[in-house]
Structure 1
Amino acid sequence: MLARNENEPVSLVRTALAGMIAMAAAMGFGRFSYTPILPGMMSGVPLSASDAGFIASANFVGYLAGAVLAAYGWAAGRERAVALAALAANALLLAAMAVTTSVPVFAVIRFLAGLASAFSMVFTSSIVLSHGAAAGNDHVQSAHFGGPGAGIALSALMVLLIGIAFPDAGGWRADWIGGALFSALGLAAAWALLPAGPAAAARKGPEPAIAWTPPMLLVTLSYGIFGFGYVITATFLVAIARMDAAGAFVEFLCWFIAGVTAAVALFGWKPFVRVLGLGGVYVAAVVIEVAGVLATVMLPHSLAPLIGGALFGATFLAITAYGLQIGRKLSPESPRRVMALMTAAFGLGQIVGPLIAGWVAEGTGSFTLPTYIAAAALGICALLVLPVIKKLG
C-alpha cells in the first residue's frame, strides 16, 4: 500500500508539492501549532509557564531522539514507508492531545510527536531534496522548506476560526482535533505525490562518517545554539501577545504573518545567496532574527508581536535550510548523516530553551528576560559562523 513504482517518472512539481504538504503537516501542525494553541491551554487546562515549557521540551526531546535514530542506515530503501508512517503517527498524536489534561501525559504525547516529526522531516527531505539536487533545481528545496511556514499560517487561521466557533475554555481541544484532521489530509496527499524513494544517484549504500573539520564543528555548534535561541520565540510568541493583552486578532495575526513570511522566505533569500554566499546569508538571517526576537518585547504591545513575527518568520526556516546546506557542503559524502546529526544538535538547543524560558518567565512574571537570553544566544550563533564564510566561498 505504501509503495510506488520506482520506474515511474518523477515530476519535480509533484515532488516539491509532496514535500511542502508533508512538512506543513509534520512541522507546521505537528510541531508549531503548539504555539497558537498554548494560550488557550494555559487558561483552559490550566498550565503554568513552567508546565508549558516542560511540555514543549518533551516534544524536542522526541525530535532529538528521532534525529539521532535517523542517522543510522536502518531505513535505507524504506524512506518513503517510514516518512508516511511518521505522518500517520503525527495525525493520531495531535488528536490524542485533546483527550487529556494531565501534564505528564501531554509530555509523553508531545515526545512521541517529536519523534514522528523528526522521522518525517529527515526521510521526506532525503527523498524530495535528492530529486531536486539530481535535477539541479533549487526551487524544490525552497518549496519543501516553505511547507512548515504554510502549516504555521494555516494553524493560526484554524485556531482563530475555532476560537470564534468555540469561545469557551475548551476550544483548545478542538484546535488539536482540527490539526489532526489537516495532518490526515496531508498524509493522503503525500501518499499520492511522494516519489518511491531518493533519486538513484543518491543511493550509494551506507554513508561514511562525517568529516569533523573545524568548520564543520563550528557550524554544528552554531546550529545547536540557534535551536536554543529561536525556540523561545517559536514557543511563546503568541503567549507573549496574550500576556501583553494585545487582543485575539493580534495573537492570530502575529503567528499567521510568521507563517506566511516563513513560507516564502527561501524564495526571498535566494538572490542574496549569489551575492553573500551560503555562510553570509546564514549570518545575515541570524542578525535579522535577533532584531525580530528583540522586537517582541521592545516595541509597543500592539506592534511588537506583529513585527517580531514577521522578522522571525522571514528568517528561521531560511537559517534552518541554509544551515543544513552548509553542513552538506562541508561533508558532501555524508548528506543524510549531516542532516540527522545537525538536526540532533538543533534538537539539543530546543530542549533547553523552553525549560529555561518557562522557568525564568514564571519567576519574573514575563517573557522579557528569556527573550533577551534568546537574542544573546542568536548573536553567538552568528559569530561562530563568521570564520567559516571564506571556507564556503
Structure 2
Amino acid sequence: NYLGYLVGAVVASVISDLELKDRLYRIGLVVAVITTAGMGLTENLWLWSILRFLAGLSCAAGMLIGSGLVLNWLIRHNHRSELGIQFSGVGLGMVVCAVAVELMNTWLDWRQQWLVLTVIGGAMLVPAWAWLPRPESATVNTSGRSMKDSPPGKAFMGLLTAAYFCAGVGFVVSATFIVAIVDELPGLEGKGVWAFMVMGLAAAPSAILWDLIARRIGNLNALITASLLQAVGILLPVIEPSILLTMLGAILFGGTFVGIVCLVLTMAGRFYPSQPARFMGKMTIAYGIAQIVAPMITGLLREYNGDYSVGLYAAAAAMIVGSALMLIAKTREVSEKPTPGFVNQ
C-alpha cells in the first residue's frame, strides 16, 4: 500500500498537465472503491498485495493530485491556499471506518465487512467526483494577475524534505500498528479500535485548527509545535499503559499528524501556485520512503523485543529530530511570511 502511494507521489511530481491530473484523480476514486471490494473477494496473498498497491496509487490520486487541483482552484479564485477543510476528510474517514468495523464485528465476517466498506466508499465517491471543479488552463487568476512560482532555496528545501521524512517515520509507526499496540498493552485488550476512532475524531478538525494557528505564528512555527506534540502523543501509551494516557496519546497524535501533512502541502501554494502538485509529490516521496522503511524496521524490532516500545521510542525521536531540522530551516529562510504566489502583470 505504501509502495503504491510512493509511486503515485513520483507520478504526481512529474505530471504538469492539469487535464491529465484531473483524469487521474477521477480514475483514482474508482480504483479506491474497486480495490476495497477486491479485498473481500479473495484470500490470495499476491492478489491482496496487488490490490493494496493499486489502493496506494488511488490514495496518492486523492491526497496529492486532488489536493493540488484544489489548491490550484483556490489560488485562481483569490482564496487562501489552505487545505484544512479538505484534509478533515482524513479524520472523518478514520472515524467512519472504525465505527463501521466495530458495529460489523459481531454479525458480519471479514469478507462482508470489506464489501460494506466498499458501499460506503462508493457513496462518498459521488460528492468527491462531482464537487471538484474541472481545472482551468489560464495562466492568470480571476483578477487577471499571473500565477508566478517563487521556490525556496535548496538548503531550505533539503532541510524541509529531511524533516518531512522524519514526520513520515513518526506517523507510520503509530498509524500502522496503533490497534495492535493498544491491544497488547496490559488491561487494554480489545481497545485498539477505540484508539483508532479517537485518533480520527481528533484528526477531523485538526487540519482546520492548524491552518488557523499557522496564520498567527507562521507555517514553520506551527509545524515545529505540531511535531513536538506528536512526539508526546506517540510516547504516552508506552510511558504508562493506562486507558487515560493511551486515549490522550491518540488525541495528540490524531490532532497533529494530519495538521503536519496539511501544513507542508499548503506550502505548495506558497512556493508553486501554478503547479502545487509537483512540490507535493517531491515532498511526499520522502514521506513515502519513510512509510515503507519504518514499519519494516518496527516489525523486526517487535519480533526481537516482543513489543512495540522500541519502535515507538524511535518514532518519537524522529519527530524531535524533524523539529530540530525545521528550526534550522527557519534560519535559512529569508522570511517566513507566506508569499501570495502572484505578481501584477
Q: When the two structures are superposed, what TM-score results if normalisation uses the length of structure 2?
A: 0.87
2:29 maps to: 87
2:106 maps to: 164
Q: CA deviation at 1:221?
A: 1.3
Once residues 105 and 138 of structure 1 are traced to their aligned partners in structure 2, the CA distance between those partners, rounded to angstroms, is 42
Aligned residues: 330
Q: CA deviation at 1:212?
A: 5.4
| CA gap 1:199/1:387 in 2 versus in 1, 3 angstroms | farther
Once residues 254 and 216 of structure 1 are traced to their aligned partners in structure 2, the CA distance between those partners, rounded to angstroms, is 34
Task: Return 316-325 or 264-273, whichever deviates more.
Answer: 264-273
Once residues 197 and 286 of structure 2 are traced to their aligned partners in structure 1, the CA distance between those partners, rounded to angstroms, is 28
Q: CA deviation at 1:336?
A: 2.3
Partners of 2:82 and 2:211 within 8 A in 1: no
- Amino acid aligned to 1:379: I
Q: Deviations over 1:311-346 (max 9, x none)?
A: 111000110011123355355565221011111111
Q: CA deviation at 1:196?
A: 1.2
Q: CA deviation at 1:273?
A: 1.6
Once residues 62 and 347 of structure 1 are traced to their aligned partners in structure 2, the CA distance between those partners, rounded to angstroms, is 9
Q: How does 1:36-115 map to 2 (within 5 A)?
A: 59-73=1-15, 75-115=17-57
Once residues 46 and 296 of structure 2 are traced to their aligned partners in structure 1, the CA distance between those partners, rounded to angstroms, is 15
1:252 aligns with 2:193: yes
- Amino acid aligned to 2:126: A
- Amino acid aligned to 2:105: G
Q: CA deviation at 1:198?
A: 5.0
Once residues 132 and 209 of structure 1 are traced to their aligned partners in structure 2, the CA distance between those partners, rounded to angstroms, is 17
- Amino acid aligned to 1:153: V
Where does the alignment leave 5 or more consecutive residues of structure 1 unmatched? 1-58
Secondary structure of the residue that 2:290 maps to in structure 1?
helix
Q: CA deviation at 1:253?
A: 2.3
1:347 aligns with 2:288: yes
1:176 aligns with 2:106: no
1:368 maps to: 309
Q: Deviations over 1:107-146 (max 9, x none)?
A: 2221111112112222211222222233343496211111
Once residues 136 and 206 of structure 2 are traced to their aligned partners in structure 1, the CA distance between those partners, rounded to angstroms, is 25
Q: Deviations over 1:80-99 (max 9, x none)?
A: 32211111001111111123
Once residues 246 and 81 of structure 2 are traced to their aligned partners in structure 1, the CA distance between those partners, rounded to angstroms, is 30
Once residues 212 and 313 of structure 1 are traced to their aligned partners in structure 2, the CA distance between those partners, rounded to angstroms, is 31
| CA gap 1:120/1:267 in 2 versus in 1, 3 angstroms | closer
2:342 maps to: none
| CA gap 1:270/1:122 in 2 versus in 1, 3 angstroms | closer
1:287 maps to: 228
Q: Using the aligned pairs only, state the percent identity.
A: 29
Q: How does 1:255-270 map to 2 (within 5 A)?
A: 255-270=196-211
| CA gap 1:80/1:202 in 2 versus in 1, 3 angstroms | farther
1:127 aligns with 2:69: yes
| CA gap 1:172/1:271 in 2 versus in 1, 3 angstroms | same
| CA gap 1:281/1:193 in 2 versus in 1, 3 angstroms | same
Q: CA deviation at 1:237?
A: 0.6
- Amino acid aligned to 2:21: E
1:145 aligns with 2:87: yes
Secondary structure of the residue that 1:325 maps to in structure 2?
helix
2:217 maps to: 276
Once residues 212 and 63 of structure 2 are traced to their aligned partners in structure 1, the CA distance between those partners, rounded to angstroms, is 25
| CA gap 1:199/1:255 in 2 versus in 1, 3 angstroms | farther
1:322 aligns with 2:263: yes
2:299 maps to: 358
Partners of 1:233 and 1:371 within 8 A in 2: yes
- Amino acid aligned to 2:296: L
- Amino acid aligned to 1:214: A
Partners of 2:4 and 2:52 within 8 A in 1: yes
1:116 aligns with 2:85: no
- Amino acid aligned to 1:266: A
